[in-house]
């Protein structure tokens, strides 16, 4: 079974600063996918960014980027030029690749990091 | 493009009762997954439906059951409710079996309170 650990229950930064959220995971799988989801107070989970384990290049989406270290099983999220609207719970999630005919699996989530952007 | 919708938004039940939650997937999606999110926790995978069959299941008892209809919408049923079933129930949809890495898109959730 996979486990996902987010060691920072809460973080607070000033608007326009850069912040990095950490995530580590434990798995024996070699092929998998990693995600960062954002859950604002409105509670709808929104995809921030995804990474395929077979890709060495780190994923980026505008102000959001990841540092994927496969050997260390680490998947941190960097938010640049943080904005008030970035205030939310951030969840790191893991999905293993099931392969052809292998069926499907659900996401395994960490406990989340509450990010607060101060004006 | 309609996103994932869930109904109802809130629900209050008493112990021992049964509840049915509903989910309509994002347009074009054929796979529905259900998650339980307890207060202050990350979501936990309940099960996933594809082609009207349960394909994978997390560590949840048989009191949790589901159904997928030909139009890909889905229901989550919970029997013999316990106080510990109080949580936010999230539905997520994706295209094809999610094991191939297809991104899951979440609905707004149903908040269930068991008294």
- Is A101 within 8 Å of chain B by CB? no
Q: What percent of chain A has pLDDT over 70?
A: 93
Candidate from A87-91, A104-108, B6-10, B64-68 with smallest mean pLDDT: A104-108
- DSSP 8-state code for residue A57: S
What is the structure's pLDDT at B100? 66
Backbone angles phi, psi at A85, to 5 degrees: -70, -5
The predicted-structure confidence for B37-64, as pLDDT tens digits, reads as follows 999 999 999 999 988 999 889 999 999 9
What is the structure's pLDDT at B55? 87
First-to-last alpha carbon distance for chain A, in angstroms, is: 41
Indicate yes or no: CB of B107 within 8 angstroms of CB of A98: no
Contacts of B41 in chain A (CB under 8 A): 111-112
What is the structure's pLDDT at B112? 98
What is the structure's pLDDT at A6? 98
């Amino acid at each position: 079974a996979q486990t996902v650990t987010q060691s920072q229950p809460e973080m607070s930064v000033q608007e326009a600063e850069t912040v990095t959220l950490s995530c580590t995971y434990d798995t024996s799988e070699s092929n998998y996918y990693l995600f960062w989801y954002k859950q604002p107070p409105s509670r709808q989970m929104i995809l921030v960014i995804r990474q395929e384990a077979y890709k060495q290049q780190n994923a980026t989406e505008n102000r959001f980027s990841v540092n994927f270290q496969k050997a260390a099983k680490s998947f941190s999220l960097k938010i640049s030029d943080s904005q008030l609207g970035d205030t939310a719970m951030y969840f790191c999630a893991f999905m293993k690749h099931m392969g052809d005919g292998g069926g499907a699996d659900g996401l395994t989530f960490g406990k989340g990091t509450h990010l607060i952007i101060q004006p | 493009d309609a996103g994932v919708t869930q109904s109802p938004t809130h629900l209050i039940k008493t112990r021992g009762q049964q509840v049915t939650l509903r989910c309509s997937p994002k347009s074009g999606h054929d796979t529905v997954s259900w998650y339980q999110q307890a207060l202050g926790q990350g979501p936990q995978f309940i099960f996933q439906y594809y082609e009207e069959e349960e394909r994978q299941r997390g560590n949840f008892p048989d009191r949790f059951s589901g159904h997928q209809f030909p139009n890909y919408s889905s229901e989550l049923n919970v029997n013999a409710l316990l106080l510990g079933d109080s949580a936010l129930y999230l539905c997520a949809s994706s295209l094809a079996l999610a094991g191939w890495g297809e991104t899951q898109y979440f609905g707004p959730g149903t908040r269930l309170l068991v008294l």
